[in-house]
Every structure is written in structure tokens, then in C-alpha cells.
Chain A
Amino acid sequence: AQSVTQLDSHVSVSEGTPVLLRCNYSSSYSPSLFWYVQHPNKGLQLLLKYTSAATLVKGINGFEAEFKKSETSFHLTKPSAHMSDAAEYFCVVSYTGTASKLTFGTGTRLQVTL
């Protein structure tokens, strides 16, 4: 069965320090991978997506993620955290080759402190 695992339910960083949110997927096939962010009382916003093109994907707000097939990982990173980055982040996978049926990870809550 298709699945995606977010290794940390909660991550806390200081403002200005790097962010690393970890995600692993299980698959025998080439997946499409996404990172979405959910701010309180707001809809999910697409940060970036991987669809078998370049393995290093750059997204909005300075975020990027690297697809590593050998490690079945798609970790999300940002060089310097900002207070406005505090939110819930979801790693999402699709095994249909399109954005048709998405499977969500359990989410990682990012806390940014002064």
C-alpha cells in the first residue's frame, strides 16, 4: 500500500536557523511528491512538487526539497527560518503519476522561536 511517513510530528527552530522537515515514502514506482503548508484557519498552500524532473525542487518562500530515490526521501529544507513559517506541513504522495489521488503524511508542526 502506498504510504508516506513524516518522521517528526513537531519541530522547533530558532528564527534565522535552518529548517529540516523529514519525509519518506514507500513505493516501487516513481511517485509524484508534494509539500503543502497549512496555516491556522487557512487552506493548504502548495509549497513545491516533484514530478520526475530535476531532483532538487525549489518552491515558494525559500523552501526546497530534494528527491532521493535511493533513500526514498523527500525532505523539506529552508536555510533560514522566519516567524511566518510557523505552521503545519504535510508531505504528500501520488502514485498515479498525476495529482489525482493524494496520500497525506501525518503532518509536522513547525514552531519558530525568537
Chain B
Amino acid sequence: GAVVSQHPSWVICKSGTSVKIECRSLDFQATTMFWYRQFPKQSLMLMATSNEGSKATYEQGVEKDKFLINHASLTLSTLTVTSAHPEDSSFYICSAREWVTDTQYFGPGTRLTVL
């Protein structure tokens, strides 16, 4: 089946620093990837849609200058949390849309802890 990886799986950083999370589709090309945020024991909330070669589309209430998304190739999207603060601590999950089956396949997630 289609596999999506994320790196790192967990990261701890100091307040004020930036953190980059990578999302890769390993065995298929994805023109569209998605970034979600999941709070403890809650559902996934879509943050933004990442389109290869163009600007990401952010959901209402998501700060695009804080959560920078780059989708430079058909297999890689990155999320950079800039000037991270403790309230940014969360579980970030990406997904990639596979066109043949028209299905989103999800990565294992990245747990971010900001001290």
C-alpha cells in the first residue's frame, strides 16, 4: 500500500526557535499533501493544504506566517513552525493524496514539545 513517512517522529525545542517537519510519500507521487494538528484525545484538525509548486491554502484561524509550508517536489512537503511557543506543542500529522485511488494516506505523526 501507499506509504507516507514523517521526520522527525518527535522533537523538543526551546521557545523562540523554529522547527521543520518533513512529510514524504515513499512509493507514489502526491501533488497534494495536507497538514493536520491533533490535540490530546481529540480529533484531527486540518491546518492547510499543500500543493506542489504553488502556495499552500490555510484553514481559517491558522497563521500562515507561523506555519510555513513548502511543497517543492511531488514527494516532499515540509512544515516549519516558526518562533515556536509552548502553545504550539502538539501532534502534527501529514497526509498525501494518492490520485489513482483518490485516497489520503497518513504519516505516523510528529510530536512537538516546546519548552
A residues apposed to B, CB below 8 Å = 34, 36, 41-46, 49, 51, 90, 98-107
Contact = CB atoms under 8 A, between A and B. Distances in A.
B105 A46 contact: yes
9 contacts: A43-B6, A43-B93, A44-B95, A46-B103, A90-B43, A100-B49, A104-B44, A107-B42, A107-B43
Given A90-B44, A98-B102, A101-B46, A43 B108 contact: yes
A99 B107 contact: no
Q: Is the interface of B mostly helix, strand, loop or mixed?
A: strand
B30 to A, nearest CB: 11
Contacts of B42: 106-107
Given A41-B108, A99-B103, A103-B46, 12 more contacts: A43-B4, A43-B6, A43-B106, A44-B93, A46-B104, A90-B44, A99-B104, A100-B97, A101-B46, A102-B46, A105-B43, A106-B43
B103 A49 contact: yes
Interface in B61-109: 93, 95, 97, 102-109
A36 B106 contact: yes
Contacts of B93: 43-44
A7 to B, nearest CB: 14
Contacts of B25: none
B43 A104 contact: yes
Contacts of A51: 102
B50 interface: no
A99 B102 contact: yes
A42 B108 contact: yes
A45 B97 CA distance: 13
Nearest to B3: A43
Interface string B40-65: 00111110010000000000000000
